[in-house]
Amino acid sequence: MLTEGIDFIPIGIIHSELDRKDASPIQSARSDIEATVEVFPQYQEGLSGVEGFSHIFLFYVFNQTDQKVKLRVKPFLDDQLHGLFATRFPVRPNPLGFSIVRLIGIKENRLYVRGADILDGTSLLDIKPYIPDFDVFKADKLGWYQNRKYK
């Protein structure tokens, strides 16, 4: 069982107008903010073909997590406590985040995206194409979100 020694190497950095976590949209689907994803030159070749996709997943490290991890949290759209892993609350044991964004352009090692909910200066870990045949599921259970307090 692997319990230590997991290392990630950033492949780039995300540039956005968002400089405070309290000003960030709660999810990329609720954002029209544009951002630039700078992929480090040694990974630029890996972008070949990305322009053929309308949306991409960005995987990154939360860069402003100064709170202590709690296993029961109040998510942004509810006033009740829920288990951390039943939420998308950003303060987690491993500060990993992901967003699905619209790819609006690419030039050399820079991707121009819309739908950013990511803070400026965030380290990029990976990019994957969004493919509806693989990434869309009909959900028949929505947990606490179905009866959330805030719509």
Q: Are 77 and 27 in contact (CB under 8 A)?
A: no
Kindly state the average pLDDT of the residues 105-113. Answer: 97
Confidence category of residue 2, pLDDT binned at 50, 70, 90: low
Query: What would be the CATH architecture of the domain defined by 12-68+95-133?
Result: Beta Barrel (2.40)
Q: Cα dihedral angle (48, 98, 6, 38), rounded to 10 degrees?
A: 40
Looking at every residue in the chain, the average pLDDT score rounds to 89
Confidence category of residue 3, pLDDT binned at 50, 70, 90: low
- pLDDT for residue 1 is more than 60: no
**Which tens digit of pLDDT belongs to each residue from 111-134?**
999 999 889 999 999 999 999 998
- Residues contacting residue 129 through CB under 8 Å, at least 6 positions apart: 50, 53, 55, 56, 57
- pLDDT for residue 57 is more than 90: yes
Domain boundaries, the chain: 12-68+95-133
pLDDT of residue 83: 93
Confidence category of residue 90, pLDDT binned at 50, 70, 90: confident
- pLDDT for residue 39 is more than 90: yes
| For the chain, percent of residues with pLDDT exceeding 90 | 56
Query: What is each CA distance from 151 to 28, 84, 121, 148, in whole angstroms?
Result: 16, 20, 30, 7
The 8-class DSSP code of residue 85 comes to G
pLDDT of residue 76: 81
Runs of H (alpha helix) within 2-139: 132-135
Instruction: Of 28, 23, 85, 81, give the one whose Cα is nearest residue 58.
Output: 28
